[in-house]
Amino acid sequence: MIAPMNLEFVFHPRSVAVVGASSSFGKWGQMIFSNIVAGHFPGKIFPVNPREEMIFGLPVFRRIQDIPEPVDLAIICTPAETVVGVLEGCGEKGVKAAVVITSGFGETGEAGKVMERGIVALCRSKGILLVGPNTMGILCPRSGLFATGTHTRPRKGKVAFVSQSGNLGNQLIHWAEQQGVGVSLFVGSGNEAMITCPDYLEYLEQDSDTRIIILYIENINRGKRFFEVAKRVNRVKPVILLKGGRTEAGSLASASHTGAMGGNLTIFRAACRQAGLLEVYVPSELLDLSAGFSSLPLPKGNRVGIVTLGGGWGVVTADECNERGLLVPRLPDRIIESIGRYLPPFWSKSNPVDLVGTQNPDAPLVAVEELLKWDGVDAVIGLGIVGRIELLRLLIQSTREVDRSKPSELLDQMENTLREYEERYATRIVEFMEVYEKPVLGVSLTMTEKGTVRPIPGKRYDAVFYQTPESAVNVLSRMCRYASFQNAVAP
């Protein structure tokens, strides 16, 4: 058992030593150390390497014991056979925690398992918390610590990632940065020789920066404790997980990857359902759910209002809703009349609300707000209202090529006007969510450069625009399921 508050030394250290720091491009010691320095870690940074004197403008120490100031966290990038000696030096120095990047331990076979048990015993005797071994590192935007092999630095946010695979975890973090998902912390837990997934969950349970927890796991050594902790945490913070090693091929791969064995999938899934955990089946779904859960209010029921720029997407979305247990209720005459004032007489007059490609800039916002005001829906999905600017740019490009009589300033103004409208729409739906406490999920007409999540300064919620209707419906259905679980376990 690890005292949760001790993990503060891992994620919020005042000083960091990188053992095996290097200036040789592409070495682990270079990748980790340059990321910490380039990420502007605000605490003290100490490179350790017996063969170098200066790296990136910082003086290098031969041993960690030679550092004249206290060290909270050591990040170890040296070969496996040297790790015991380095950890002994950490013990002498009084280092509080160590992240062992090095592989070559339990994932390699019995001899590696013996080595791994040895470094755990050593760390326990010296009072050192051990992350890993066989990890790609950690990051925590709030503390300004970016200590991973990949140089991705996502914005501060509410989503914590715990991944037994550093590779997959770093890919998710990179996607999160691209899609605008804010991150509270990431840890590649690796072999979990000492600190295990339940320990990280207990830390995140009381971490005020974390609202959503994302797990990639290949093995659970103490299943009973994991599910007890996960169920408790899940009551207040959604726990979303992807299980690796679900098939025979995946299970064999995970054994050689982190030394894990997959276990019985049927039992695992039954335990997930009992604990209310949200299991997903592909990595991209982790990101979709993290965007929705971290940016939107939870729905209070499963009734959905749909607003669509064109009819086809509305039909597809309504089908998706019904197939995933969501209801698409009929509109009362009062709402039909209110929305109809802004649309041509041939609009659908039903839910989904088909905007029939209107050019009236007020119509989409009126339709969304009228649905949110109504106590007959619990959430709204808006389709194609954002993303039109990408198509307008293509039209403008073609027009510039074939019609030289059109003033360039006029074409630029058209693009700027639509861009400003889409930004204003994103701001208004966030304001609606704060007033009505109902989620609004967008689907972009085209892939945009702004990503899935669009933070609005000073607001509790963010605007969210998915790439496909099925992604938006899947996220909403999972949010409804989680809300139902919360209501069921509420005292």
Model confidence at 245, pLDDT cuts 50, 70, 90, reads: low
Average pLDDT score, the chain: 93
User: Matching CATH topology for 154-295 and 297-489?
Assistant: yes
pLDDT digits (tens, 9 = 90+) for 453-488: 999 999 999 999 999 999 999 999 999 999 999 888
Tokens 């326990």: give the residue: 124
Contact 214, 279 (CB under 8 A): no
CATH topology of domain 154-295: Rossmann fold (3.40.50)
CB atoms within 10 A of CB 115: 20
- Cα 56 to its chain centre, rounded Å, is 31
Our measurement of the distance from residue 435's CA atom to the centroid of its chain's CA atoms, rounded to an integer in Å, reads 26
pTM over 0.85: yes
Nearest to 130 by CA among 154, 153, 106: 106
Domain topology for 297-489: Rossmann fold (3.40.50)
More confident residue, 89 or 264: 89
pLDDT tens, 406-441? 898 899 898 888 889 999 999 999 999 999 999 999
Spell out the CATH class of 1-135.
Answer: alpha beta
Distance CA 21, CA 24 (A): 9
Tens digits of per-residue pLDDT, 138-156? 999 999 999 999 999 999 9
Q: Which two tokens stand for residue 186?
A: 């990431």
Segment among 60-64, 118-122, 256-260 with least mean pLDDT:
256-260
CA nearest neighbour of 465 among 436, 479, 445: 445
Q: Where are the domains of the chain?
A: 1-135, 154-295, 297-489
> Which neighbouring-strand residues pair with 129?
97
pLDDT band at 491 (very low <50, low <70, confident <90, very high): low
